[in-house]
């Protein structure tokens, strides 16, 4: 395997990726992603199929107006239809009219598809490939030939599959891309086929793998190891059925583990940001457990792991997360050791003064009773602050009563009554809102705002409930997660009780208390709001 060899990345997020169920890019979405991919350093960007829909046709008109840094735009289409001439085939004509420097042609290489899908002869299929490639090359375009179902075809009839590649090569194709279209091939089979093809063809090879057996990335890496120099895939692995090869996972493996050149120097550090931006545009939640870029990819929870990482990061991390724009995080839970608490406290700027064991015991007792501090960064921070000596709560709730009512054909607001102390003063307020949690929030604000006007900046952003023991039915223990933000930071607090109102009160009160502690100290911790 050659070190420092250039591998050409070919992104098909805008075409193959858009075939994912429940994903739909607008024209502006596609243009935004094009800019992101170009700035990141992806050399080939497949924009779509100009003959398939008006949006893709308009994309190829608009993309010409972009001042791209380095990327080549590719238009995707198929070989001419059976019985037509390439120069008169409508979809081939639209491919040329797209005006892109690169045209990607998909052609059949599996004899099953030739006879049962195209319903033509093997000889005619070879002519379809050769005629279309020859015409587009005559127009001065770079041609990428996507050999559809190649590995299935190679297993069924290797001689004919190679004849299809030879037809494309002799007509002038610049790339021969071997496609695992059904996504069911295994890495050893892919590597063997790529190796055998590379021995017989001078045209550079590429790989296009699907993830139906969860091997798309492995198959792409195997192909590169066997000689492929172009890798096709999508950002975050988006694609039809189970998706395509995930370029976000492939890139760091190619550069950091195989020593290949894929991007301009230094650009790999923007990988996390790119993954998140494309997910946001696609309106798909980022996968916290995604390799390399997920929020949990370098999260350490077990006490033994954290103790080792504290001494030597490489002992439990396969790469330095900063190299791809990610960061290490330490998770606090009942599985934690004192090192977890010490590192998390240091991240918060807190000195636990040797009381890690005491705080750890509190956490283990809380989790035994149904709390879950893994992810509830606000609740942990509050406990750590108390342990570090910042234990003067700005207020104390003495009593809270929540009432809801129902009358036929009438919507009744919930009412919350709160009695609390601020210093030595007793405050008693009542507030109404559409639901019980909103009423509790309103009552607390009404009571506290005269003393803490900065609470106007606090906003509750999410509220989730989980039933811990559903077999107990209506008597089940309930865990409440509450997310809040103040425009600069975001945090989560948790409450647990067999009374959902009481669990909500705990989470709500802790969120208010943490915010006031932070503002009194002039601090803002936690995840920065988007």
Encoded tokens for 334: 């009942």
Is 120 in contact with 114 (CB distance < 8 Å)?
yes
Whether 255 and 307 map to the same domain: the answer is no
Q: In what order do the strands lie in the sheet with 425-433?
A: 396-403, 414-422, 425-433
- Average model confidence (pLDDT) for the chain? 87
What percent of the chain has a predicted confidence (pLDDT) above 70?
82
Summarize the confidence of residues 343-365 as an average pLDDT. Answer: 66
The yes-or-no verdict on residue 187 having pLDDT over 90 is: yes
3-state secondary structure string, 116-173?
Answer: HCCCCCHHHHHHHHHHHHHHHHHCCCEEEEEEECHHHHHHHCHHHHHHHHHHHHHCCC
Q: If 0-12 CB within 10 Å is exposed, 13-18 middle and 19+ buried, where does residue 201 land?
A: middle
- Domain identity same for 148 and 220: yes
Residue 203 has pLDDT above 70, yes or no: yes
Lowest mean pLDDT among 27-36, 59-68, 89-98, 358-367: 358-367
259 and 115 housed in the same domain: yes
More confidently predicted of 510 and 157: 157
- Let me know whether 236 and 344 are in one domain: no
Domain extent at residue 351: 299-387
Same domain as 408, residue 354: no
Q: Are residues 365 and 502 in the same domain?
A: no
Strand residue runs (E) in 160-312: 175-180, 205-209, 230-233, 299-300
DSSP per-residue string spanning 439-466: HHHHHHHHHHTTT-GGGGG-EEEEEEEE
pLDDT tens-digit readout, 497-508: 888 899 899 899
Q: Is the pLDDT of residue 400 over 60?
A: yes
Specify which of 368-372, 438-442, 487-491, 521-525 reaches the highest per-range mean pLDDT: 438-442
Count of the separate structural domains present in the chain: 3
173 and 309 in one domain? no
Together in a domain, 135 and 221: yes
- The whole-number average pLDDT for the span 313-338 is 69
306 and 212 in one domain? no
Angle of the 500-521 helix axis to the 436-448 helix axis, nearest 10 = 30
- 49 pLDDT higher than 70: yes
Residue 283 belongs to a domain: no
Confidence of residue 215 (pLDDT cuts 50, 70, 90): very high
Same domain, 253 and 202: yes
CA dihedral for 469, 474, 475, 477, sign (positive or negative) = positive
Same domain? 25 vs 125:
yes
Whether 408 and 362 share a structural domain: no
* Separation of alpha carbons 91 and 269, rounded Å: 40
Out of 55-69, 272-286, 363-377, 436-450, which region has the weakest mean confidence (pLDDT)?
A: 363-377
Entry pTM? 0.74
Q: Return the SS3 of 59.
A: helix
- What does the alpha-carbon distance between residue 436 and residue 179 come to, in Å, rounded to a whole number? 56
Residue 477 belongs to domain with CATH number = 3.30.160.270
Coil, helix or strand at residue 234: strand
What local confidence, expressed as pLDDT, does residue 369 receive? 62
């Amino acid at each position: 395997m050659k070190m420092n060899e250039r591998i050409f990345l070919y992104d098909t997020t805008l075409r193959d990726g858009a075939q994912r169920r429940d994903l739909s890019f607008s024209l502006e979405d596609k243009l935004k992603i094009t800019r992101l991919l170009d700035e990141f350093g992806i050399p080939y960007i497949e924009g779509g199929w100009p003959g398939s829909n008006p949006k893709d046709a308009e994309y190829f008109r608009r993309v010409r107006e972009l001042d791209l840094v380095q990327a080549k735009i590719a238009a995707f289409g198929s070989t001419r239809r059976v019985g037509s001439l390439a120069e008169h085939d409508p979809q081939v004509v639209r491919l040329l009219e797209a005006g892109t420097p690169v045209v990607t042609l998909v052609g059949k290489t599996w004899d099953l598809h030739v006879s049962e899908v195209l319903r033509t002869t093997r000889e005619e299929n070879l002519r379809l490939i050769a005629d279309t490639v020859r015409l587009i090359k005559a127009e001065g375009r770079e041609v990428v030939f996507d050999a559809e179902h190649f590995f299935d075809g190679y297993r069924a009839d290797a001689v004919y599959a190679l004849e299809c590649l030879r037809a494309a090569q002799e007509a002038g194709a610049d790339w021969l891309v071997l496609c695992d279209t059904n996504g069911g091939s295994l890495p050893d089979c892919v590597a063997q086929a790529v190796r055998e093809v590379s021995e017989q063809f001078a045209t550079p090879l590429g790989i296009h793998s699907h993830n139906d057996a969860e091997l798309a990335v492995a198959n792409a890496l195997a192909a590169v190891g066997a000689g492929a120099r172009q890798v096709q895939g999508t950002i975050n692995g988006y694609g039809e059925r189970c998706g395509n090869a995930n370029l976000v996972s492939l890139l760091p493996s190619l550069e950091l583990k195989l020593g290949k050149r894929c991007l301009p120097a230094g650009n790999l550090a923007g990988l996390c940001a790119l993954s998140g931006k494309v997910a946001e545009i696609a309106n798909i939640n980022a996968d916290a457990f995604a390799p390399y870029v997920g929020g949990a990819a370098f999260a350490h929870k077990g006490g033994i792991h954290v103790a080792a990482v504290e001494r030597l990061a490489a002992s439990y991390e396969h790469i330095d997360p900063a190299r791809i724009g990610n960061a290490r995080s330490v998770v606090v839970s009942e599985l934690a050791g004192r090192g977890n608490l010490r590192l998390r406290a240091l991240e918060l700027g807190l000195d636990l003064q040797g009381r890690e064991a005491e705080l750890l015991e509190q956490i283990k007792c809380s989790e035994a009773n149904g709390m879950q501090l893994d992810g509830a960064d606000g609740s942990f921070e509050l406990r750590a602050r108390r342990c570090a000596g910042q234990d003067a709560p700005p207020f104390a709730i003495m009593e809270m009563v929540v009432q809801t009512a129902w009358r036929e054909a009438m919507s009744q607001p919930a009412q919350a009554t709160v009695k609390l102390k601020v210093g030595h003063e007793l405050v008693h307020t009542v507030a109404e809102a559409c639901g019980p949690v909103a009423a509790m929030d309103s009552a607390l604000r009404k009571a506290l705002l005269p003393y803490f006007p900065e609470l106007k900046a606090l906003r509750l952003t999410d509220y989730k409930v989980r039933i811990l023991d559903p077999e107990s039915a209506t008597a089940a223990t309930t865990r409440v997660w509450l997310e809040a933000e103040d425009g600069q930071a975001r945090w989560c607090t948790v409450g647990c009780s067999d009374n959902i109102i009481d669990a909500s009160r705990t989470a709500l009160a802790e969120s208010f208390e943490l915010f006031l502690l932070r503002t009194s100290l002039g601090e803002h911790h936690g995840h920065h709001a988007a």
